[in-house]
Amino acid sequence: MVIVIKVGGSLLKLGPPENIVNDFIKTMQVDKLVLVHGGGYEVTEVAEKLGKKQRFVVSPEGIRSRYTDRETVEIYTMVMKGKINSEIVLALHSRGVKAVGISGFDGATLVAERKKRLVIVDERGRKVAIDGGYTGKILKANGELLNTLLEKNFVPIVAPIALGTEGEPLNVDGDRAAAAIAGCLKADKVIFLTDVGGVLIEGQLVKEMNVEEAKRSMRKVGFGMDKKIMAAIEAIENGVKESIISAGNIENPLTNSLSGENRTVIRP
């Protein structure tokens, strides 16, 4: 099987976690894996150390995202690709895995369009339009580079930065980047590892949903999980057979996602 694994930034605060690296190595003995990572927390931390205050905006649909101006996209690229991606690649190499770090703009793997304007809800609850900055809407994913690497048994590690139509780097959401990549690779599964066990509704883990149920559930969850469910649906709509949302902070998180019961599976 081809499996795309998104490792949430929520799990990477102290570098690549050993439980994920161990289980990744086990899983790659049987399946072809592509890892996509997040890292928003560390981007904010480094930006603020550099004296660049980070701003977050909320859309009328309630989706929260980083406001990415020119300086922020430079810091975002430095941290995501230079630091977080490299740390994962090095952790895998230290265990003998032929990992290759790329970002979505390498080989035009992820092509996006700048959002010209962003409609956001201001402090007083009014809708206002602001300049879109360097946030991208993914237009297409191109699997050529990833397939070339996979054929030669390299393990691709992808940072969520896309190629803009004018050659600029664009901040794209890691979950949606993973969904687009899974779709273009015709992956069997996409797994979103995060710091909770799956989708919780009224405190209960939802074990299975179809796309319709998943769409309805988006209104019942908070920031972070809403985007993840949206990405899980996008992956299914792009032809992926299963999207799984599950805990990355347990022993054998991938084995649990693939064969355990404590996870959320979204199917067509």
Ligand X SMILES: Nc1ncnc2c1ncn2[C@@H]1O[C@H](COP(=O)(O)OP(=O)(O)OP(=O)(O)O)[C@@H](O)[C@H]1O
Binding interface with ligand X (CB under 6 A): 8-10, 38, 40-41, 174-175, 194-196, 199-200, 221-225, 228
Closest distance to ligand X from the beta carbon of 39 (Å): 6
Q: CA angle 241-6-116, nearest 5°?
A: 95
Q: What is the DSSP secondary structure assignment for residue 187, as one 8-state letter?
A: -
Contacts of 130 (CB under 8 A, 6+ apart): 57, 67, 117, 118, 120
Q: Write out the residues near Mg ion by the rule CB under 5 A.
A: 224
Cβ proximity to ligand X: between 114 and 228 the closer is 228
Closest distance to Mg ion from the beta carbon of 222 (Å): 11
Closest distance to ligand X from the beta carbon of 175 (Å): 6
Cα(212)–Cα(199) distance, rounded to whole angstroms? 15
Cβ proximity to Mg ion: between 42 and 149 the closer is 42
Closest distance to Mg ion from the beta carbon of 221 (Å): 12
Cβ proximity to ligand X: between 73 and 225 the closer is 225
Binding partner selected for residue 182 from ligand X, Mg ion, none, CB under the kind-specific 5 to 8 Å limit? none
Binding partner selected for residue 199 from ligand X, Mg ion, none, CB under the kind-specific 5 to 8 Å limit? ligand X
Amino acid at 186: K
Closest distance to ligand X from the beta carbon of 77 (Å): 16
Q: Which residue is nearest to Mg ion (CB)?
A: 224
Q: How far from the centroid of its chain's Cα atoms is residue 268's Cα?
A: 21
Cβ proximity to ligand X: between 45 and 150 the closer is 45
Cα(139)–Cα(221) distance, rounded to whole angstroms? 26
Q: What are the CA-CA distances from residue 150 to residues 6, 29, 98, 174 (Å)?
A: 17, 13, 10, 20
Cα(155)–Cα(28) distance, rounded to whole angstroms? 9
Cβ proximity to Mg ion: between 229 and 240 the closer is 229
